[in-house]
Amino acid sequence: MAGTRKYGSFLLLQVSVGIFFLLMGLQGLLNYDSNINQASRFINDLFGNNNNVINIVVSVGALISGIIILGGLFIPMKNSTLMIATLIVFIFCALKIAYFYVANNFLEPNLITWLQRLSLDCVVLMSIWIINRKYS
């Protein structure tokens, strides 16, 4: 009985994290050409701050991550393949956290907001680690 609950919680965690990444990637790509984002890119270009490539790379990476994490549930693959794939997703997510929270927006806009956003991304990062350990 305990093994069934454990498997069920892993399943729910993997589904929720996979859907999170899938939707995050889709949202980033679908909203890329909205009027608000066009205005934002125009203002960024005026001030010489162009993050277009980074935003697209993060969105595509999130989309691929969601597909990999969800695919592990529905597509028969070796555990070693899924372990390597989720390890790559983990590294990608860790680099994203380092880039967005340390290199660019350290303690911005204020400490509490920064910590709250960082902690949310750390929860997702640790969830990916738990999924990765399932396949090792």
The reported pLDDT for the residue numbered 105 is: 75
Which run of H or of E encompasses 22? helix 2-30
Burial pattern 5-23, b for ≥16 Cβ within 10 A else e, equals eeeeeeeebbeebbebbbe
- CA gap 6, 64 in Å, rounded: 26
DSSP labels, 56-92: HHHHHHHHHHHHHHHHHHHS---HHHHHHHHHHHHHH
Interatomic CA distance for residues 4 and 45, integer angstroms: 54
- Highest mean pLDDT: which of 25-39, 52-66, 90-104, 110-124? 110-124
Q: What is the pLDDT of residues 17-63, one digit of tens each?
A: 889 889 988 888 876 555 555 655 565 555 555 556 767 777 888 88
Q: What is the pTM of this model?
A: 0.71
Nearest CA among 34, 97, 38 for reference residue 62: 97
- The span from the CA of 51 to the CA of 28, in Å, is 13
Percentage of the chain exceeding pLDDT 70 = 77
**Bond into 76 cis (ω within 30):** no
pLDDT of 5: 57
Q: Which residue has the higher pLDDT, 130 or 33?
A: 130
What's the pLDDT band for 9 if we cut at 50, 70, 90? confident
The Cα angle at residue 100 between residues 107 and 125, in degrees rounded to 5:
105
